[in-house]
């Protein structure tokens, strides 16, 4: 049975990121009683244990037996950058040698910590303002790989995370089954309430429908970025497959099914999607949707040719856009930037790492 379990880079079965039922299957496979699974599960998820040696309520003999076939972490931290504002950006090595990013975000005005998780290695959507798009798509992450990003961050930082955002590398709703499984593990094993979990999508209609059917009390965030098809097609190419009208219909159905307020994400690109007319159009489009609007100042990235594709609107333009969009009656916020000094945009650190190691 162990042949089907994920192994880390050391070739040992990795337990971090598994749920209690999966850890129970593991201990039963060793001929151990089921209560041992609860002990191990508690050490991993409540105490952030990084090795069996830390599990002091297990006998030395049992710890040695476990170490012969298994380990705790699945992922390895390849690189860590720490911002002056406390943001920590991690580059993780996966068992097959691929790399993926996660971010721990701290805010000065609140005690809670948030983690931005990746759901894929690279991304197939190819949004033109996103560094991850320039990595290309490699593969989906397993549910265990998604969960162990969270646990690796808690082990390294020593702090409990309160909020989860699926907004790192990849499109979560092109990996919906594993994302839903990871949400359930994070909720039940890591103890983070579903209402503190947000899943962001560029508008994958079947995935939105599947998430609605799962009826989890999470927050759906739609990366809209333009209120008209022409502009959105230019910067979010997946619009050619899922029209803006089909996406908005799916999001409305999601709200009607779950009764959960949606977040509209909008990256502001100077001279592209930040005009007064576009702000008014956005307000009109969203007037019947129960949502908040989150404006995101563009974090400059370079394309494969090293060219910065877009500019960032100045604060006056951002505030004007927010004021006009707010005429929809929605709450409009301009996102507070974090980690701008450490390759903060999704994919920036991975791109830099890969380029450095290809020379």
Work out the average pLDDT over 49-66: 97
Least confident of 43-52, 121-130, 236-245: 121-130
Segments making up each domain of the chain, as ranges: 2-71, 76-358
pLDDT (0 to 100) of residue 355: 45
* Known catalytic membership, residue 270: no
- CATH code of 76-358, in short, is 3.20.20.70
CA atoms of 228 and 103, how far apart (whole Å)? 31
CA atoms of 246 and 240, how far apart (whole Å)? 11
pLDDT at 352 over 50: no
pLDDT confidence bin for 356, thresholds 50/70/90: very low
CA atoms of 331 and 205, how far apart (whole Å)? 25
> Environment class of residue 153 by beta-carbon count within 10 Å: exposed (0-12), middle (13-18) or buried (19+)?
buried
Task: Report which of 166, 80, 162, 74 is spatially closest to residue 119, judged by C-alpha positions.
Answer: 166
Residue written as token pair 């994302």? 179
pLDDT confidence bin for 350, thresholds 50/70/90: very low
- Per residue in 302-339, pLDDT (tens digit) is 766 677 779 999 999 999 999 999 998 999 999 876 55
Q: Can you say whether the dihedral through the CA atoms of 312, 266, 147, 137 is positive or negative?
A: negative
| Contact present, 29 and 65 (Cβ < 8 Å) | no
Work out the average pLDDT over 75-87: 92
Task: Say which residue, 108 or 62, is predicted with more confidence.
Answer: 62
Task: Catalytic residue, from 116, 123, 130, 346: name it.
Answer: 346
Q: 356 vs 138, 330, 353, CA distance in Å? A: 19, 44, 5
Work out the average pLDDT over 7-29: 96
* Known catalytic membership, residue 346: yes
Task: Say which residue, 109 or 15, is predicted with more confidence.
Answer: 15
pLDDT (0 to 100) of residue 337: 65
CA atoms of 18 and 145, how far apart (whole Å)? 9
pLDDT at 27 over 60: yes
pLDDT confidence bin for 208, thresholds 50/70/90: very high
pLDDT at 344 over 80: no
pLDDT (0 to 100) of residue 359: 45
Work out the average pLDDT over 112-134: 91
Task: Catalytic residue, from 81, 101, 171, 265: name it.
Answer: 101
Q: How far is CA 344 from the centre of its chain?
A: 14
Element (H, E) at 276: helix 276-286
pLDDT confidence bin for 48, thresholds 50/70/90: very high
pLDDT at 98 over 70: yes
Least confident of 118-132, 219-233, 246-260: 118-132
Task: Say which residue, 73 or 349, is predicted with more confidence.
Answer: 73
CATH 1.10.150.530 is held by the domain 2-71: yes
pLDDT at 195 over 80: yes
Task: Report which of 176, 161, 79, 72 is spatially closest to residue 120, judged by C-alpha positions.
Answer: 176
**What is the average pLDDT value for the chain, to the nearest integer?**
91
Work out the average pLDDT over 230-247: 96
pLDDT at 177 over 90: yes
Work out the average pLDDT over 55-67: 97
pLDDT > 70 in the chain, percent: 91
- Per residue in 155-168, pLDDT (tens digit) is 999 999 999 999 99
CA atoms of 26 and 69, how far apart (whole Å)? 10
């Amino acid at each position: 049975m162990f042949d089907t379990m994920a192994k880390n880079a050391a070739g040992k079965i990795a337990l971090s990121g598994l749920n209690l039922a999966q850890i129970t299957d593991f201990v039963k496979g060793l001929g151990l009683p089921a209560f041992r699974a609860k002990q191990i599960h508690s050490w991993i998820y409540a105490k952030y244990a990084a090795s069996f040696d830390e599990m002091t309520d297990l006998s030395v003999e049992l710890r040695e037996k476990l170490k012969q076939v298994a380990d705790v972490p699945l992922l390895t931290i390849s690189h860590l950058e720490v911002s002056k504002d406390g943001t920590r950006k991690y580059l993780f090595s996966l068992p097959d040698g691929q790399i993926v990013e996660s971010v721990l975000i701290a805010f000065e005005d609140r005690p809670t910590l948030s983690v931005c998780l990746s759901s894929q290695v690279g991304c197939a959507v190819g949004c033109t303002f996103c560094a991850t798009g320039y990595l290309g798509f490699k593969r989906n992450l397993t549910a265990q790989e998604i969960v162990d990003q969270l646990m690796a961050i808690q082990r390294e930082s020593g702090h409990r995370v309160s909020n989860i955002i699926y907004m790192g590398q990849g499109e979560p709703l092109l990996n919906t089954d594993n994302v839903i499984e990871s949400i359930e593990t994070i909720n039940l094993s890591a103890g983070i309430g579903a209402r503190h979990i947000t899943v962001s999508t560029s508008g994958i209609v079947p995935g939105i429908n599947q998430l609605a059917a799962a009826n989890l009390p999470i927050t759906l965030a739609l990366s809209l970025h333009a209120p008209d098809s022409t502009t959105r097609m230019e910067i979010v190419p997946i619009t050619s497959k899922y029209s803006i009208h089909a996406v908005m219909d799916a999001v409305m159905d999601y709200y009607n099914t779950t009764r959960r307020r949606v977040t509209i994400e909008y990256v502001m690109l100077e001279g592209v999607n930040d005009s007064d007319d576009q702000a008014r159009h956005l307000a009109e489009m969203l007037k019947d949707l129960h949502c908040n609007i989150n404006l995101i100042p563009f974090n400059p990235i370079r394309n494969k040719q090293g060219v910065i594709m877009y500019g960032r609107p100045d604060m006056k333009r951002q505030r004007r856009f927010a004021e006009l969009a707010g005429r929809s009656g929605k709450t409009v916020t301009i996102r507070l930037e974090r980690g701008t000094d450490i390759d903060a945009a999704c994919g920036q650190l991975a791109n830099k790492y890969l380029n450095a190691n290809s020379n």
